[in-house]
Amino acid sequence: MFKHIKNISLVGLILVTIGACRELDQEVLDGVTQEQVNASKDPNLIPVLKASAYSRIVGNGGASGGIWSLHEVSSDEVVVPTRGPDWQDGNAWIRLHRHTWDPSEPSVSGAWDYCYTAIGEINNLIVQYPDLPELKAELTVLRGLVYLWLIDVYGNVPISTEDDLGSNPTNSSRQEVFNFIESSVKDNMDMLVKEDKKTVINYYSAQAILAKLYLNAEIYTGTPRWADAEAAANAIIESGVYSLTSNYFANFATRNGGSSENIMTLPYDENNATGFNLSMMTLHGLNRETYDLQEQPWNGYASLEEFYNTYEENDLRKDNFIVGPQFSSSGERLLDASFEPEDPDGAPLTFTPSIRELTPKALRQDGARIGKFEFAPGSNSNLSNDYPIFRYGDILLVSAEAKYRQGKIAEATELVNQIRTRAGVAPFTSMTLEDLYDERGREMFAEATRRTDQIRFGKFNQPWWEKAASEPYRNIFPIPQTQISSNPNLVQNPGY
């Protein structure tokens, strides 16, 4: 049992993230004093010490305006149309979709704060407990995971460690950040457990960090590392610890802790670990009656029709989307009294893959909604589904792409066909790189990978629905203006 107490150590009184300070809450066991924790070598206390770091990782990553939204809405798979006054929000979602964002965007600042708050907590814990090598190793790799997100989203970011708490650091180059992540993981991964522990860093999630880092190495540093990406992915595959679930959607269910496929997850809980609001973000207000929700959804996030149409009709993964007539939990047809006169479906609530326009008058019923994650009947605005950061299906595709780019086409095709067979579609008899890209999209929908994949495959700056071609500098986001203003040592990314 946990409770929150104020941390009384000098280092823990304040945490300077980048340009901001806040008071810390440190989680400790009931009946254990801070002095006992400081002096103890009991390995059973390690989960207590690291709990606050993991709670920051859970954070609001799956909420509207978090890092999930930054990835998804800037890609070609998710959009937030403006339906009259709904989701107008100063056109922030329109700019994100059209790649016209600026350094003052709330989502750009929100994702930065999310990452550096976690890093600050990790650094603080390492300073407080320097004599627990297993704890330091795990926290160092966890920090490497957060920097994997930062290098991908912002590129040239400050490296903050336990050695420089309270400073105003300068930007490090993307190459320097890459090297920092790589060494953070490789120097510590052998101290991590080789057990299936989904909600904390283990040896296999460390390998997954390396696999993703190396998969995108050419983007991050200019030098490809395909063989290294393959080796890291294969270390997970060949371990035998993980396997594809027979039911794809079991990985995204409300009670998905037993998934054989999820390698590392964010353990969201509607009461104790909030911040995953997808049901609110995507469903129509009347869908409250479909799932007997405690609160009314906000009628926002949907998929682009072009992306929806990349799925074959018999693809089981097409249930990633909610389309068609909508009913209450008792089977009654839902009627939208506020429907627009020009909506051909009229009052009966019917989700259509097509969206009339991005802004300002998308129809209330427009857009296939995101149904990949189970919406538990009777739930509140926060979901209790554990969100996969790393999943075995993704790792198979990482290995496949790394193999393909090294000319191992047959081996790559065999791995991709494992994914396709599970989805109920015919295996590839031959496969192009474009096929692999499309398969990644279908498999990884709404798992915050599409933007990164589009950049790696040279697609991100191309035009798509309601978006013109964008400039290459948009492949990374700006350093938030609030950080530039508060830290004179930071330099804005080129183009902004």
Q: What is the 3-state secondary structure (H, E, C) of 110-128?
A: HHHHHHHHHHHHHHHHHHH
**Residue ranges covered by each domain of the chain:** 1-191+461-496, 204-269+389-439, 278-381
pLDDT tens-digit profile of 303-317? 999 999 999 999 999
Whether residue 22 is predicted with pLDDT greater than 70 in this model: the reply is no
Whether residue 4 is predicted with pLDDT greater than 60 in this model: the reply is no
Whether residue 9 is predicted with pLDDT greater than 90 in this model: the reply is no
Would the CATH topology of 1-191+461-496 be identical to that of 204-269+389-439? yes
Determine what percent of the chain is predicted with pLDDT higher than 70: 91
Mean pLDDT confidence for 153-160: 97
Mean pLDDT confidence for 233-251: 98
Mean pLDDT confidence for 189-208: 97
Whether residue 190 is predicted with pLDDT greater than 60 in this model: the reply is yes
Whether residue 301 is predicted with pLDDT greater than 90 in this model: the reply is yes
Strand pairing category for 25-29 and 78-79? unpaired
Alpha-carbon dihedral sign for residues 101, 106, 112, 115: negative
Query: What pLDDT does 39 receive?
Result: 57
Query: What pLDDT does 47 receive?
Result: 79
Mean pLDDT confidence for 331-357: 97
Whether residue 26 is predicted with pLDDT greater than 50 in this model: the reply is no
Mean pLDDT confidence for 64-82: 95
Whether residue 12 is predicted with pLDDT greater than 60 in this model: the reply is no
Whether residue 267 is predicted with pLDDT greater than 70 in this model: the reply is yes
Whether residue 34 is predicted with pLDDT greater than 90 in this model: the reply is no
Query: What pLDDT does 8 receive?
Result: 25
Strands (E), 295-445: 302-303, 321-322, 324-325, 350-351, 369-370, 386-391
Mean pLDDT confidence for 113-142: 94
Give every CB contact of residue 478 below 8 A, 6+ residues apart in sequence: 101, 102, 103, 108, 154, 492, 493, 495, 496
Mean pLDDT score across all residues of the chain: 91
Query: What pLDDT does 396 receive?
Result: 99
Distance CA 397, CA 457 (A): 14
Query: Could you tell me the pTM of the whole model?
Result: 0.92
> What's the pLDDT band for 111 if we cut at 50, 70, 90?
very high
Whether residue 21 is predicted with pLDDT greater than 50 in this model: the reply is no
Token pair 């978006």 in the structure block, residue: 467
Whether residue 40 is predicted with pLDDT greater than 70 in this model: the reply is no
Whether residue 2 is predicted with pLDDT greater than 60 in this model: the reply is no
Alpha-carbon dihedral sign for residues 286, 292, 297, 303: negative
Mean pLDDT confidence for 400-405: 98
Query: What pLDDT does 131 receive?
Result: 85
Give every CB contact of residue 16 below 8 A, 6+ residues apart in sequence: 120, 165, 166, 167
CATH number of the domain located at residue range(s) 1-191+461-496 in this protein: 1.25.40.390
Point out the least confidently predicted range of 6-10, 26-30, 286-290, 355-359: 6-10
Alpha-carbon dihedral sign for residues 255, 257, 259, 265: positive
Whether residue 36 is predicted with pLDDT greater than 70 in this model: the reply is no
Whether residue 220 is predicted with pLDDT greater than 70 in this model: the reply is yes
Whether residue 42 is predicted with pLDDT greater than 90 in this model: the reply is no
Strands (E), 251-368: 262-267, 302-303, 321-322, 324-325, 350-351
Nearest to 316 by CA among 439, 424, 443: 424
Mean pLDDT confidence for 42-58: 84
Q: Domain 204-269+389-439, what architecture? A: Alpha Horseshoe (1.25)
Query: What pLDDT does 13 receive?
Result: 25
Whether residue 6 is predicted with pLDDT greater than 50 in this model: the reply is no
